[in-house]
Amino acid sequence: FRRYLLTALTSCLFWNTFGLSAAMDSKPNILLFLADDLGIGDIGCYGNNTIRTPNIDRLARGGVKLTQHIAAAPLCAPSRAAFLTGRYPIRSGMASSNRYRALQWNAGSGGLPANETTFARLLQQQGYTTGLIGKWHQGVNCESFNDHCHHPLNHGFDYFYGMPFTLLNNCQENKPPELDVALQAKLWLYAQIISLAVLTLTAGKLTGLISIRWKIIACFTLAGSLFFISWYSSYGFVQYWNCILMRNHDVTEQPMRLERTASHMLKEAVSFIKRNRHGPFLLFVSFLHVHTPLFTTAKFLGKSRHGLYGDNVEEMDWMVGKILDSLDKEGLKNHTFTYFASDHGGHLEAQDGSAQLGGWNGIYKGGKGMGGWEGGIRVPGVFRWPGVLPAGIVIDEPTSLMDIYPTVVHLAGGILPQDRVIDGRNLVPLLRGRAQKSEHEFLFHYCGSYLHAVRWHQKDSGAIWKAHYVTPVFHPLGAGACYDRGFCPCFGEGVTHHDPPLLFDLSRDPSEAKPLSADTEPLFDAVIRKIGRAIEEHRRTLTPVPEQLSFYNVVWKPWLQPCCGTFPFCWCDKEGDSTQSL
């Protein structure tokens, strides 16, 4: 019996090791889910017992859950740029020094620069078929309406179906406009000033009081016309300019019909998996859920206990389940590395009267738009790879959305770029239990291009120190958000600078409720000095790059407008009613 038992144990160990080795040696399919504006407290596996998310929860039960997963920025466009490149947004120019912290138009000239290398590009080079379904929000064109310099297909994706921009209230009828009101006011002011200048110069030229060439007056007139058209378009045409769907380079819906968008996205994701079932493939499912206007199909309306927002979360979870089911149907579950996260924290200021239209960030202070407070940057992070990653494991180590970049490149057998700084770290050893500590010692928390806070993982003691140098001024005071405006600002009168900085130990105070001081924390001065030296070293690694979110780059330019007709008559519906319910 003893000999039989020893033989059986040896055989079992051999086959487990061999099977695991074989799984690791082959290139897995990679499925990445990224929600939009989802709070860490909105899903069941992170403690929510009132919104039903059974499919995301089963991912967590079958894999690894991270409890300290950090976005590199608290807003969509810069956070996604960091996710795609493994680099802080300030390195690619996707961090703003002005109040326009995200792209405003499909017809802006800013976006993820062509010289940035995404993980999709590196996996493409390793023989992967790469697809993006859903939201992009990294720009489209640079100099002409069809140069596609920022387009997903120019950044390593073989296939794109989705929204090149982001959802806005403007995309749905009878919703209050969401495009920046201050931008509209500035466009109108510039148009008035330039028009007045043109009239003055023309009158002076005709009366002989001013010596000026007509070409100069014509240039002023052209500039004034551009500002006027941008202002006018920002009121009546946002739905046509921004709310569009594309398949690869072709516009298929302009404007998009929200009542069938979720069905389109789901059909495309399932179809991509089926077409590429022989792999390897990378599928990035970038949800339009749960960003306002929270358009939800009739099947889910009124079904949750948290109003329209809860309905939208539950619809997204159902879509996750359908896509996971398609993996099972094709026999790919055990050969697919799956990841679920959100691009940043929930939007606290998103309200309609007493109805909350943004997410819940659990015990964490702050939310979307706040670069330092945990609620703006701590997000869900769930991984599953049956047979390779352990099931039901929780890891409370600092990790970043930027870590996905080196992680998937490692799994694909690729090599990281050697000509630039990569801020992400390979998570495979941590996820498999081969490492007990995160490789991150410091994480830098930016709001736009302004450094608001720094996290120090003191590995020998287990402390997670966090120093806040700048914090937003909440309105009303103590409310936890900036309810007098859409987002908390990064600079100016709406922020407070702290010297010495506010210091917290997140391992003891994850809610950042009680700042430490030299009187209450013996290590206060030493910790602040250590973090200060880390900031100096970090800043030495930064190099100047063109700012992609400058006013010039975010302003609407008619010659860059994606259009499925003859501009300005841009409308089409190439999808028709072909989408079947799934």
Residues with a known catalytic role:
76, 137
The closest of 439, 421, 410 to 119, measured between CA atoms, is 410
Give the alpha-carbon dihedral of 15, 19, 24, 26, to 10 degrees.
130
Relative to beta strand 351-352, strand 355-356 is antiparallel
Contacts 24+ apart (CB under 8 A), 531-536: 531/442, 531/454, 531/456, 531/465, 531/467, 531/501, 534/441, 534/442, 534/454, 534/456, 535/444, 535/451, 535/454
SS3 19: helix
- Whose tokens are 């569009």? That residue is 244
- Total H helices, total E strands in the chain: 15, 18
- Provide the residue type at 103 as one letter: L
Tell me how crowded residue 222 is: count the other CB atoms within 10 A of its CB: 11
d(CA 528, CA 416): 33
d(CA 167, CA 149): 22
Q: Give all strands (DSSP E) within 150-213, no chain letters.
A: 159-163
The closest of 93, 34, 37, 74 to 453, measured between CA atoms, is 74
Tell me how crowded residue 515 is: count the other CB atoms within 10 A of its CB: 16
The closest of 258, 260, 188, 249 to 224, measured between CA atoms, is 188
Q: Are 387 and 21 in contact (CB under 8 A)?
A: no
- Identify the bridge partners of residue 482 per DSSP, sorted by sequence position: 475
- Whose tokens are 């790879």? That residue is 385
d(CA 575, CA 138): 24
Tell me what percent of the chain is helix, strand and coil, each rounded to the nearest 5.
Answer: 35, 20, 45
Residues 6+ apart with CB under 8 A from 460: none
Report residue 228: phi and psi, to 5°. -65, -45
Buried b (16+ CB within 10 A) or exposed e, 436-446: eebbbebbbbb
The closest of 449, 467, 469, 471 to 458, measured between CA atoms, is 467
Tell me how crowded residue 522 is: count the other CB atoms within 10 A of its CB: 10
d(CA 397, CA 439): 9
